Amino acid sequence: MAKTIMVVDDSASLRQVVGIALKGAGYEVIEGRDGVDALAKCTGQKIHLVVCDVNMPNMDGITFVKQFKQLPLYKFTPVIMLTTESQESKKEEGKAAGAKAWVVKPFKPEVLLGAVAKLVLP
């Protein structure tokens, strides 16, 4: 059975691009437009990994990760931050929030897939 990955990004084109890469590798993808939308979609289904942007309207990625990690079902679900931000201070915020990896956009599909394969839950 295909593993499910949640992609959270306010850019529809980026969600598409990430979705193409992940679906091509056999993953199922659910999308969130921002932190609020993504949390609303965490309704108990198994999510094997989250790929999340940082700068988003309504709820930014760091806040989303903090709240996502508070949900008992997703406590151990790994999160990869996928963002244009490359400042070390931001990375530290992501790490403190509970993210497992930080990938800077633009990314090569194989690079993202490598990180996903390394972190995705069994």
Partner 1 sequence: MGRRPVNNFTGLDSKILAPFGLAGAGALGTMVAGWSAWGWYTVLWSALLLAAAAWCARASGAALGGSGEADMIDNYLAGRERFGDAVLPIWCRHIENSRTQMEEAVADLAGRFSSIVDKLDSAVHVSSMDGKGGSSMPEVFAHSEKQLGSVVRSMKSAMSSKQAMLAQIKDLERFTRELRDMAEGVASIAAQTNLLALNAAIEAARAGPAGRGFAVVAQEVRNLSSRSAETGRNISNRVGLISSAILAASQAAEQSSEAEDKSMQSAEGMIESVLGQFRSITDALVQSSDLLKQESIGIQGEVGEALVQLQFQDRVSQVMAHVRENMELLPALLRDNRDRYVADQVLEPLDPELLLHELKKTYAMAEEHAVHGGSKHSAPAAAEADEITFF
Q: Which of residues 55-114 bind partner 1 (CB under 8 A)?
A: 55, 83-87, 91, 94-95, 99-111, 114
Alpha carbon 17 to its chain's center: 13
Is residue 54 within 8 Å of 61, Cβ to Cβ? yes
Quote the CA–CA distance of 5 and 74 in Å, as a whole number: 12
* Total residues in contact with partner 1, by rule CB under 8 A: 38
Q: Which of residues 28-47 bind partner 1 (CB under 8 A)?
A: none
Asked if residue 17 binds partner 1 (CB under 8 A), the reply is yes
Instruction: Look at residues 24, 30, 27 and name the one whose alpha carbon lies nearest to residue 8.
Output: 30
Structure tokens at 13: 């084109």
Q: Can you name the residues that pair with 80 across neighbouring β-strands?
A: 51, 101
The single residue among 38, 54, 59, 65 that binds partner 1, judged by CB under 8 A, is 54
Q: Can you name the residues that pair with 30 across neighbouring β-strands?
A: 6
Asked if residue 23 binds partner 1 (CB under 8 A), the reply is yes
The nearest distance, CB 119 to partner 1, in angstroms, is 8
Smaller CB distance to partner 1: residue 73 or 104?
A: 104
Give the residues lining the site for partner 1 (CB under 8 A). Answer: 11-17, 19-21, 23-24, 54-55, 83-87, 91, 94-95, 99-111, 114-115, 118
